[in-house]
């Protein structure tokens, strides 16, 4: 019988396939108590399952390349660390030894106990880590099941179909996409979660907050994911299938039309030139940026070099990577963001830091670089050497105040002096810019003008810092809202100060690559966008449909709005 469920589109598109359910009830929990002579064997069985889960994660990590290595790798690394957590492991062993629980029951109880601890936390960032616990425990449970049943083999066969789950970890998504996953229906989740962002970059249709998905959809049911209209159709009719085929034809036609824009200039309807830059971190990103007519690289994530190595990358390794980027862009400007890691990822990059309760508000970005001058000097030397091969700008992340920019400039000057003394050719002066992602930097942007040649607004972090809402926390999905007036006023402030002082301002967060936000950003005065290369054609197309002068006249009303709903209403005419 045809049934329609409503959800929120996290990644647009449509997909048709057989449903494959992943939910806790599918992982069997054995509540029978152990006999005394079974205890040590059960502990060994649990340890084998944990080791198997570690191996699975490591293999998954090794298979990731390019943007996926960054976007997904950090979550896999976090889950691997949880599997090393002594409290988690000790608690499990004690439950088996003292309580005579079987491994599956101990895992379930430990998950419930830790989940309650996380849920009771006041900090929304820490509270949202509950999902990581669930995903790690679920992976060990699957490994246990693999030892005694064919569940893992069934799970491995779940490709080329529609995944129906409460949530999905980015690592699992990347792995399944590689085997032909067509779409995702999540009962929970948020449109701004890392999984949702990954789904959009992979062009994988995804619905989140789909109530009753786990109870209404049966394993093997034929389902149509309609992420264009926020619906999933269970047992679609001939009419539904006809609509799907029509969408396929139109999507293919639209793809061919957008391809013709690859080498076209980016101009508004009233002929105002707009610059589209690419976010990149590898050669495939660079090739795609060139193919789609990028104005340059607006954000090059240098930390991928640190995350892919087993230690700190040396000057030569970094120099060669930056040089190849610059040569690959054929004379177009390249903006290199200096190391942007926090305590949660620094260990993986060869930097040992004290564990922090809240890494999002800890020693990360420029704070980390200035605390490790030897590491920072190595990176700055590599950048300065590479800059002789083409136009380069240096972008400093997580800036809070002018003194940080001054310290970076001082170190850059010292590195340049040393390199010249060693006989290297070094550019006289590189442009150095501040990344505006901390509210203090946005509010006090005028205090950064003297020490910054340009600004880049990072809306992903700025939004969650302004709203105190973790984008990965499902419970805060409605609060994490890029249309929130307070955020828009900060963005407009940075753009305005940049325009008055002659400093270029770009925006490199998720908003830049989403055509839904293009009218808003043009209205606020933005002319430089930086996004994933795969988003450039859609944004270029959207820019060409809009009249900038008309949008700019709307700016005062947008900045006086008192709610995101009011902002959306004002922009409705441009949809």
CATH no. for residue 43? Answer: 1.10.274.10
Same domain, 457 and 572: yes
Catalytic member of 175, 334, 508, 532: 508
Q: Which residue has the higher pLDDT, 174 or 274?
A: 274
E strand or H helix at 140 = helix 130-148
Flag whether 105 is in a domain: yes
Radius of gyration of the chain (CA): 25
Categorize the per-residue pLDDT at 26 as very low, low, confident or very high, splitting at 50, 70 and 90: very low
Q: How many domains does the chain have?
A: 4
Flag whether 291 is in a domain: no
- On the question of pLDDT at 106 being above 90, the answer is no
- On the question of pLDDT at 72 being above 60, the answer is no
For residue 117, what are the CA distances in angstroms to 110, 132, 156, 157, 361? Answer: 11, 13, 32, 35, 21
- On the question of pLDDT at 341 being above 90, the answer is no
Same domain, 431 and 354: yes
Residue 155: the pLDDT is 38
Flag whether 365 is in a domain: yes
d(CA 169, CA 310): 24
Flag whether 297 is in a domain: no
d(CA 126, CA 145): 30
- Please list, in sequence order, all residues whose beta carbon lies within 8 angstroms of the beta carbon of residue 18, skipping any fewer than 6 positions away: 161, 162, 220, 221, 222, 223
Q: What is the pTM of this model?
A: 0.71
- On the question of pLDDT at 129 being above 60, the answer is no
Per-residue pLDDT, averaged over 298-307, amounts to 89
d(CA 249, CA 296): 33
Categorize the per-residue pLDDT at 60 as very low, low, confident or very high, splitting at 50, 70 and 90: low
Residue 79: the pLDDT is 65
E strand or H helix at 523 = helix 518-523
148, 166, 188 — which closes off a domain? 148
Residue 386: the pLDDT is 95
Same domain, 202 and 223: yes
d(CA 396, CA 282): 19
Residue 112: the pLDDT is 75
Determine contact, residues 296/333, Cβ cutoff 8 Å. Answer: yes
| Residue 356 exposed, middle or buried by CB count within 10 Å (0-12, 13-18, 19+) | middle
Residue 390: the pLDDT is 93
Tokens of 454: 């340009």
Question: Which residues form the domain of 187?
Answer: 1-24+150-260
Residue 148: the pLDDT is 41
Q: Which residue has the higher pLDDT, 394 or 42?
A: 394
- On the question of pLDDT at 65 being above 60, the answer is no
Categorize the per-residue pLDDT at 495 as very low, low, confident or very high, splitting at 50, 70 and 90: very high
Flag whether 288 is in a domain: no
Same domain, 320 and 425: yes
Flag whether 294 is in a domain: no
Beta strands in 470-569 (DSSP E): 504-507, 528-531
d(CA 564, CA 215): 33
d(CA 469, CA 476): 6
Kindly report, residue by residue over 426-476, the tens digit of the pLDDT: 887 899 999 999 999 999 999 999 999 999 999 999 999 999 887 767 666
CB atoms within 10 A of CB 254: 13
Per-residue pLDDT, averaged over 472-490, amounts to 83
Same domain, 363 and 312: yes
Residue 450: the pLDDT is 97
Of 142, 202, 193, the closest CA to residue 167 belongs to 193
E strand or H helix at 234 = strand 231-234
Of 91, 93, 83, the closest CA to residue 135 belongs to 83
Per-residue pLDDT, averaged over 50-65, amounts to 68
Alpha helices in 314-386 (DSSP H): 315-328, 343-346, 366-371, 373-386
Residue 115: the pLDDT is 66
227, 260, 293 — which closes off a domain? 260
| Residue 471 exposed, middle or buried by CB count within 10 Å (0-12, 13-18, 19+) | buried
In three-state secondary structure terms, 461 is: helix
E strand or H helix at 224 = strand 222-226
Question: What does residue 286 show for φ and ψ, rounded to 5 degrees?
Answer: -65, -45
- Whether 31 sits among the annotated catalytic residues: the reply is no
Q: Which of 6-15, 184-193, 295-304, 416-425 has the lowest mean pLDDT?
A: 184-193
Same domain, 20 and 154: yes
- Please list, in sequence order, all residues whose beta carbon lies within 8 angstroms of the beta carbon of residue 547, skipping any fewer than 6 positions away: 268, 269, 270
Cα torsion 106, 112, 117, 123: sign: positive
- On the question of pLDDT at 30 being above 60, the answer is yes
| Residue 81 exposed, middle or buried by CB count within 10 Å (0-12, 13-18, 19+) | middle
Per-residue pLDDT, averaged over 396-420, amounts to 96
Kindly report, residue by residue over 510-543, the tens digit of the pLDDT: 899 999 999 999 999 999 999 999 899 999 999 9
Q: Residue 233: which CATH number?
A: 3.50.30.10
Q: How many Cα neighbours within 13 Å face the side chain of 84? A: 9
Q: Which of 58-72, 90-104, 323-337, 501-515 has the lowest mean pLDDT?
A: 58-72
Kindly report, residue by residue over 154-170, the tens digit of the pLDDT: 433 443 589 998 888 77
Determine contact, residues 223/196, Cβ cutoff 8 Å. Answer: no
Residue 174: the pLDDT is 74
Catalytic member of 194, 334, 415, 532: 194
- Whether 415 sits among the annotated catalytic residues: the reply is no
Flag whether 374 is in a domain: yes
Same domain, 471 and 500: yes
Residue 153: the pLDDT is 40
436, 459, 490 — which closes off a domain? 436
Mean per-residue pLDDT of the chain: 84
Same domain, 448 and 402: no
Of 374, 496, 391, 483, the closest CA to residue 436 belongs to 496
Tokens of 161: 């179909």
- Please list, in sequence order, all residues whose beta carbon lies within 8 angstroms of the beta carbon of residue 439, skipping any fewer than 6 positions away: 462, 465, 466, 490
Categorize the per-residue pLDDT at 64 as very low, low, confident or very high, splitting at 50, 70 and 90: low
Helices (H) and strands (E) in the chain, counts: 26, 16
Per-residue pLDDT, averaged over 101-128, amounts to 69
Residue 93: the pLDDT is 82
Residue 169: the pLDDT is 78
Q: Which residue has the higher pLDDT, 177 or 150?
A: 177
Same domain, 471 and 572: yes
Q: Residue 365: which CATH number?
A: 3.20.20.60
Q: Which of 224-233, 252-261, 420-429, 469-478 has the lowest mean pLDDT?
A: 469-478
Q: Which of 9-18, 281-290, 507-516 has the lowest mean pLDDT?
A: 281-290
Tokens of 285: 């990103």
Same domain, 41 and 95: yes
Question: What does residue 540 show for φ and ψ, rounded to 5 degrees?
Answer: -60, -40
Same domain, 309 and 429: yes
Categorize the per-residue pLDDT at 110 as very low, low, confident or very high, splitting at 50, 70 and 90: confident
Flag whether 308 is in a domain: yes
Residue 356: the pLDDT is 65
Q: Which of 117-126, 248-257, 277-286, 404-413 has the lowest mean pLDDT?
A: 117-126
Same domain, 8 and 108: no
Where residue 125 falls (left for φ over 0; alpha for ψ -120 to 50; beta otherwise) is alpha
Beta strands in 428-527 (DSSP E): 431-436, 454-457, 504-507
- Please list, in sequence order, all residues whose beta carbon lies within 8 angstroms of the beta carbon of residue 50, skipping any fewer than 6 positions away: 83, 89, 140, 143
């Amino acid at each position: 019988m045809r049934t329609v469920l409503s959800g929120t589109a996290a990644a647009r598109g449509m997909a048709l396939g057989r449903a494959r359910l992943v939910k806790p009830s599918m992982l069997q929990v054995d509540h029978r108590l152990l006999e005394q002579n079974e205890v040590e064997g059960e502990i060994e069985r649990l340890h084998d399952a944990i080791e198997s889960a570690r191996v699975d994660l490591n293999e998954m990590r090794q298979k990731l390349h390019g943007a996926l290595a960054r976007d997904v790798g950090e979550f896999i690394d976090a889950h691997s660390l949880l599997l090393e957590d002594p409290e988690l492991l000790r608690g499990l062993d004690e439950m088996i030894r003292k309580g005579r629980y079987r491994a599956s029951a101990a895992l379930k109880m430990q998950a419930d106990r830790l989940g309650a601890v996380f849920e009771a936390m006041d900090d929304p960032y820490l509270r949202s880590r509950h999902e990581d616990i669930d995903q790690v425990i679920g992976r060990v449970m699957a490994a246990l099941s693999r030892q005694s049943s064919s569940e893992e083999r069934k799970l491995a066969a779940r490709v080329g179909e529609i995944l129906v789950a409460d949530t999905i970890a980015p690592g699992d998504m990347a792995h399944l996409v590689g085997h032909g996953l067509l779409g995702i229906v999540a009962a929970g989740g948020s449109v701004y979660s890392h999984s949702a962002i990954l789904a959009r970059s992979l062009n994988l249709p995804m619905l989140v907050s789909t109530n009753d998905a786990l109870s209404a959809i049966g394993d093997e049911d034929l389902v149509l994911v309609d992420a264009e209209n926020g619906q999933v159709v269970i047992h679609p009719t001939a009419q539904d299938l006809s609509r799907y085929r029509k969408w396929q034809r139109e999507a293919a036609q639209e793809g061919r039309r957008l391809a013709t824009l690859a080498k076209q200039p980016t101009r508004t309807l009233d002929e105002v030139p707009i610059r589209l830059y690419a976010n990149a971190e590898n050669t495939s990103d660079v090739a795609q940026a060139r193919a789609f007519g990028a104005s340059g690289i607006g954000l090059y994530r240098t930390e991928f070099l640190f995350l892919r190595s087993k230690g700190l990358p040396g000057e030569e390794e970094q120099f060669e990577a930056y040089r190849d980027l610059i040569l690959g862009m054929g004379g177009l400007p390249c903006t290199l963001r200096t190391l942007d890691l926090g305590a949660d990822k620094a260990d993986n990059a060869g930097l040992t830091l004290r564990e922090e309760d809240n890494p999002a508000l800890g020693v990360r970005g420029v704070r980390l670089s200035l605390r490790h001058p030897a590491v920072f000097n190595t990176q700055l030397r590599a950048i300065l050497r590479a800059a002789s091969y083409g136009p380069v700008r240096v972008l400093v992340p997580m800036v809070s105040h002018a003194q940080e920019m001054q310290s970076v400039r001082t170190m850059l000057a010292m590195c340049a002096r040393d390199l010249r003394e060693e006989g290297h050719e070094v550019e006289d002066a590189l442009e150095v810019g501040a990344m505006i992602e901390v509210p203090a930097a946005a509010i006090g942007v005028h205090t950064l003008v003297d020490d910054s040649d340009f600004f880049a607004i990072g809306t992903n972090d700025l939004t969650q810092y302004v709203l105190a809402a973790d984008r990965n926390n499902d419970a805060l999905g409605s609060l994490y809202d890029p249309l929130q007036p307070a955020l828009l006023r900060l963005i407009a402030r940075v753009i305005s100060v940049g325009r008055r002082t002659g400093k270029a301002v770009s925006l490199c967060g998720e908003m830049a690559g989403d055509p839904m936000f293009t009218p808003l950003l043009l209205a606020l005065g933005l002319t430089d966008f930086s996004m994933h290369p795969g988003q450039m054609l859609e944004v270029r197309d959207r820019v060409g449909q809009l009249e900038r002068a008309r949008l700019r006249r709307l700016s005062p009303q947008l900045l006086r709005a008192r709610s995101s709903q009011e902002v959306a209403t004002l922009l409705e005419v441009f949809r």
